[in-house]
Amino acid sequence: MSSGLSYKIAVLVFLQNEAGEHLLLLRAKPPNYGIWSPIGGKLEMHLGESPFECAVRETFEETGFVIKSDDLHLFAAIAEKAYEGQSHWLIFLFNCKKVLPQLPPDMHEGKFGFFSRATIDTLPIPDTDRSALWPIYDKYRDRFVMLKANCAPGQPVKVEIEQIT
């Protein structure tokens, strides 16, 4: 059975300041328009870009913060089926070990804020972030976990762990 939906590959990068607050972007365009999420973006697949290369590039493009692959820890990958009924996503989640020195300036994709982990739970964030990404970050950010999630519209998001290392 074919759903006819495209498959997109992306990264999310979890950055923190010296106080341990997380950088989030209030998105000014889809996906996730008008809600807070970690920075990230789609792989430049036509260039053969790796998830690590994409995370380094997106971090610089969105924040101006220069990092290298060694500054990143890949802690999860999640395959999201039928996100917002628009497409399937394979998302690589990175925790940046290098501290972000200051709040980046606002940009065309949105505005930034630093938030404590407890405050994030009170913000407007994507359902998948609330049910999967932040709990996975909390539990596995120093390890690695592979997940899949059914995000089809009209159904509760169902997340399953496929492997933990």
- Tell me the per-residue pLDDT of 6-32, one tens digit each, with 9 for 90 and over: 989 999 999 999 999 999 999 998 878
Non-local (6+) Cβ contacts of 89 within 8 A are 7, 8, 9, 10, 78, 79, 80, 83
Q: What pLDDT does residue 20 have?
A: 97
Q: What pLDDT does residue 2 have?
A: 47
User: What whole-number distance in Å separates Cα of residue 122 and Cα of residue 120?
Assistant: 5
Q: What pLDDT does residue 22 have?
A: 98
3-state DSSP assignment of residue 86: coil
Q: What pLDDT does residue 158 have?
A: 83
User: What whole-number distance in Å separates Cα of residue 117 and Cα of residue 129?
Assistant: 13
The residue that leads in pLDDT, 2 or 120, is 120
- Annotate 99-122 with DSSP letters as a single string: PP-SPPPPBTTEEEEEE-HHHHTT
- Tell me the per-residue pLDDT of 126-157, one tens digit each, with 9 for 90 and over: 887 888 889 999 999 999 999 998 888 888 88
User: What domains can you pick out in the chain, each with its CATH number?
Assistant: 6-164 (3.90.79.10)
Q: Are 25 and 111 in contact (CB under 8 A)?
A: yes
Average pLDDT, the chain: 93
